[in-house]
Structure 1
Amino acid sequence: MSTHRLQTVNELIAGSFGGAAQVIVGQPLDTIKTRTQTAPRGMFKGPMDVLLQTLRKEGFFALYKGMASPLAGIAGVNSLLFASYGVAKRVISPFPNKSLQEIASAGALAGAANAILASPVEMFKVRMQGQYGAITDKKLRVVVSEMWSQWGFRKGIMRGYWVTVAREIPAYAGFYTAYEFSKRKFATKYGENVPAWALLASGSTGGLAYWLSSYPLDVVKSRIQLANEPPRGTPIQYIIRDMKNIVVSEGIPGLFRGLTPSLIRSIPAAGSTFLAYEISREYLREFTGA
């Protein structure tokens, strides 16, 4: 196997470890974020009320609703993401030391590729998180079956794909650029052996940049994926239309509903993602030589 192919395989494997760490650490705050974005107006007073009502009415494990979809899928999503990022970096420049502009470009390309798997995984997660403990709540297999039988692959399983692409491109450009910038700052002090806490801090910086680069599009994506019917018109038309509807009904703050739990979640979730990835990647590099 060629060195580049072996590197890609190693990035796929290490990415799956990073994805698993991300879901386990970040799922409760992701549930709060999604419910804050999508709940009927007036149902909750804010993210803290979402947390308290969820715990009181549904119990602690309701914060992990929809985790089966991302836990099964995020490993694959992150595998694709990190492998795509590695391939994109090698395509953009054969030299090891990339500029931050090249890092941003590689991140944007990886984000576009990542949307292929991220869109269905998040669609099912959002629909599971959008259930509030009623007797009529559905199991994941039922949600999957209904979306497929009622709407098919494109309008059901892949609903929200294009808005996911629109979100992922700036999000991962910011994600990887902020991570690399922060990691390089630590490297000037510690050299190549950057300590684990510094990798966690760098990953957290990347996570914050991810949401700050793309959050209004995430709100639109969640609402499209939770809607009873698929959006009408071209992707540009329905993304702009949904943004306008949110601003008209809720003002500009409506485009940022749930941002606080997302930013809080990104600190441990993105940090653990990069830490798990870097540790796994280093072990595989030593084991395989690539």
Structure 2
Amino acid sequence: MDILGQTIRKEGFLALYKGMASPLIGIAGVNSLLFAAYSVSKRIVSPYPDLSIPQIAAAGAMAGAVNSVLASPVEMFKVRMQAQYGLPGDKRLRHVVSDMWTHWGFRKGFMRGFWVTVAREIPGYAGFYGGYEFAKRSFSKTYGKELPFWALLTSGSCGGICYWLACYPLDVVKSRVQQADHPPKGLDYITQEMRVVLRQSGWKGLFRGLGTSLVRSVPAAGATFAAFEVTRGWLVEHTNL
């Protein structure tokens, strides 16, 4: 709440949407890849349609690894836009994109933090899909297979909460790596950055901002899963897909 008040006071209400352009442009592709990879992963995990929760989590982990290909650059530009503090030298998204390409190129610029993004997405999406299916099946015991819309929203929110609980320290490391002035060095940069956080802030540093992410995940993940289920139901009913 303190950061919310400071942001509005210093930069205005629209500053709360800083960095939105990157995920807004990329989210359709990211979610399309994620759900398509999840569908394929379920068939790889088991040829049978009724998967157990551990099998669902395994398929989610596989989908998360694939999703990192698009999620990494989208997250990187979002983080760098949000790290600006309303000063005269703040840059628009197109300038941030141009600077990263000019100074660092594709691998160290656009894909900076790729491996820590992979490390985050694997446990994160295991929890995301596992938590969603667990909640959805729990509601199905009472309401049957055709769940009311609010139950889909609630199940999705459970998946979002499980996502952050499964991977949040890695998200802290990812944000620090992507926000840094220079790309990380060495293959063990994840453990290096984690040691820096522990040395500077202790264990609490690895969970700083977790409450905000959990609050965010309730409407965001709820809407994502509900929209997916409604869209899939419409496609099944009205098309031959």
- Tell me whether the two structures share a fold, i.e. TM-score over 0.5: yes
Unaligned regions of 5+ residues in structure 2, if any? Answer: none
Residue 170 of structure 1: CA displacement? Answer: 0.2
Distance 1:60 1:269 in 2: 20
Q: Deviations over 1:85-122 (max 9, x none)?
A: 01111222221111111101100000000000000000
Is 1:178–2:131 an aligned residue pair? yes
Amino acid at match of 1:71: L
Is 1:64–2:17 an aligned residue pair? yes
* Aligned alpha-carbon RMSD (Å): 0.7
Report the identity percentage. 65
Distance 2:239 2:145 in 1: 20
SS at structure 2 position matched to 1:94: coil
Report the counterpart of residue 90 of structure 2 in structure 1.
137
Distance 2:84 2:2 in 1: 16
Distance 1:62 1:210 in 2: 26
Amino acid at match of 1:249: Q
SS at structure 1 position matched to 2:183: coil
Distance 1:63 1:181 in 2: 33
Distance 1:280 1:60 in 2: 33
Distance 2:176 2:135 in 1: 33
Is 1:279–2:230 an aligned residue pair? yes
Is 1:88–2:54 an aligned residue pair? no
Report the counterpart of residue 57 of structure 2 in structure 1.
104
Match 1:155 to one of 97, 104, 108: 108
Match 1:221 to one of 164, 174, 199: 174
Match 2:197 to one of 241, 246, 249: 246
Amino acid at match of 1:73: G
Q: Deviations over 1:170-193 (max 9, x none)?
A: 000011001001000111111111
Residue 212 of structure 1: CA displacement? Answer: 0.3
Residue 66 of structure 1: CA displacement? Answer: 0.9
Count how many residue pairs are aligned between Structure 1 and Structure 2. 241
TM-score by length of 1: 0.82
Unaligned regions of 5+ residues in structure 1, if any? Answer: 1-47
Is 1:119–2:119 an aligned residue pair? no
Distance 1:104 1:209 in 2: 11
Q: Deviations over 1:105-157 (max 9, x none)?
A: 10000000000000000000000000011010001000000000100000000
Q: Which has the higher contact order (CA 8 A, sep 6+)?
A: 1
SS at structure 2 position matched to 1:230: coil
